Amino acid sequence: MYTKFQQHLTDELHSLKDAGLYKDERVIVTPQKADIRVSSGKEVLNFCANNYLGLSDDKELIKAAKEALDERGYGMSSVRFICGTGDLHKKLEKKISEFFGTEDSILYGSCFDANGGLFGALLDEKDAIISDALNHASIIDGVRLCKAQRYRYANGDMEDLEKQLKLAQAQRYRIIASDGVFSMDGNVAPLDKMYELAQKYDAMIMVDESHSAGVVGETGRGVTELYNLRGKIEILTGTLGKSFGGAIGGFTTGKKEIIEILRQRSRPYLFSNSIPPMVAAAGIKMFEMMSSTNELQDKLHRNTKYFVEKMKAAGFDIKPTQSAICAVMLYDAKLSQVMASRLLEEGIYVVGFYYPVVPKGQARIRVQISAGHEKEHLDKCIAAFTKVGKELGVIK
């Protein structure tokens, strides 16, 4: 059997390569930070990590993790409900609730698991999920694992959402599901209008704060801070793998009965291992840091504003952004790849995206800004973009 299957896989891999869709991995040999070295020995500035607050190599977090490693050991060797709940897990859940202004929180191995284990635990075929068309793969999979009726609305399109909500009146309970920040454009979900529609059409809301937590809102509390809706959204999910230190782990936070049911029924929570104590300890430290000072959030906002203004002044076409994601529009797939590899030669690590990751004719380079970037890093990036942009005729 395998000989035939092997040929099948080899053909698939060839066609991925022919279509330019094969993903190669670049190997980093330093900690994750603004200036990294890759295995070829090349030193580059990193502008494509989700390390928004620059915490991936933070000394305080490393220290907290090391102490927990000594005091609580390496792993839990259990799921939470058997013998995998440590005091640090409980404390981190409390910190998450305080940070988001919610009633209770539940940890997962990842946000992919948080989303995957959410809907099926709460809804059945009598209910409805109304989902933004550009939602993250983990929300899409979570919806697929649930028997609820599915409705879809165009990205951030409130007229379309209203239309779908009218159709969904046929069902018993309704949840509107959306990313907080959409990762390809950097736009924020219009939560204020979503909230109005949810009130009008008797629906609940779920927001995935993965790209917005730590970033959006004056103190980085995410989209509920931005729209002044703290404590009003029934369900938030998020990751510890982006702004919040970048290691691993996810969570759902919100109404306490929802969290309680998830502890009873959510499959990735019941059937997958607890996060390591050191990750929980570093997470606790991280929330304490973020609550005691607004330094990192302020720096991220300053950096993003500076970068976007300078890039626009240089003549680049930048998608309107309300996050730390800056999409430099090129529209041409080939150009996005050529430009990204020229930028790498200039010491700037960024990635070009094109169809099917973004719509046809919407190719771009996505730049992700971090509080870990210093002004000289930003200036070097802008200078490289300007040089390569002129060379390739993107700007004059």
Ligand X SMILES: *Cc1c(COP(=O)(O)O)cnc(C)c1O
Interface residues toward ligand X, by CB under 6 A: 110-112, 115, 136, 138, 179, 183, 208, 210-211, 239, 241, 250
Q: Closest CB to ligand X among 254 and 389?
A: 254
Greatest C-alpha distance within the chain: 63
Set 211, 285, 373, 377: catalytic member:
211
What's the rounded Cα separation, in Å, for the pair 131 and 128?
Answer: 10
Residue closest to 206 by CA, chosen among 216, 194, 196: 194
DSSP alpha helix (H) spans, 209-313: 223-226, 256-265, 267-271, 277-292, 295-313
Q: Closest CB to ligand X among 120 and 389?
A: 120
CB of 272 to ligand X, least distance (A): 12
Q: Closest CB to ligand X among 46 and 183?
A: 183
Q: Closest CB to ligand X among 152 and 310?
A: 152
Beta bridge partners of 251: 107, 238
DSSP 3-state of 37: strand
- Two tokens, residue 46: 């990193």
What's the rounded Cα separation, in Å, for the pair 152 and 30?
Answer: 42
Dihedral sign for Cα atoms in the order 273, 279, 284, 288: negative
Set 95, 242, 285, 377: catalytic member:
242
CB of 139 to ligand X, least distance (A): 7
CB of 141 to ligand X, least distance (A): 10
183: annotated active-site residue: yes
CB of 12 to ligand X, least distance (A): 25
Set 105, 183, 210, 243: catalytic member:
183
Return phi, psi of residue 293, to 5°: -145, 155
Assess contact for 349 and 30: CB atoms under 8 A: no
211: annotated active-site residue: yes
The residue count of the chain comes to 396
Give every CB contact of residue 11 below 8 A, 6+ residues apart in sequence.
Answer: none
Which position has the token pair 């991936």? 56
Assess contact for 385 and 314: CB atoms under 8 A: yes
- Two tokens, residue 148: 């609820």
CB of 315 to ligand X, least distance (A): 30
CB of 65 to ligand X, least distance (A): 17
CB of 184 to ligand X, least distance (A): 10
Q: Closest CB to ligand X among 239 and 386?
A: 239
Beta bridge partners of 352: 365
H or E element that contains 329: strand 325-331
Beta bridge partners of 363: 331
Q: Closest CB to ligand X among 210 and 224?
A: 210
56: annotated active-site residue: no
Assess contact for 176 and 201: CB atoms under 8 A: no
Q: Closest CB to ligand X among 136 and 364?
A: 136
For the annotated catalytic residues, the residue numbers are 183, 211, 242
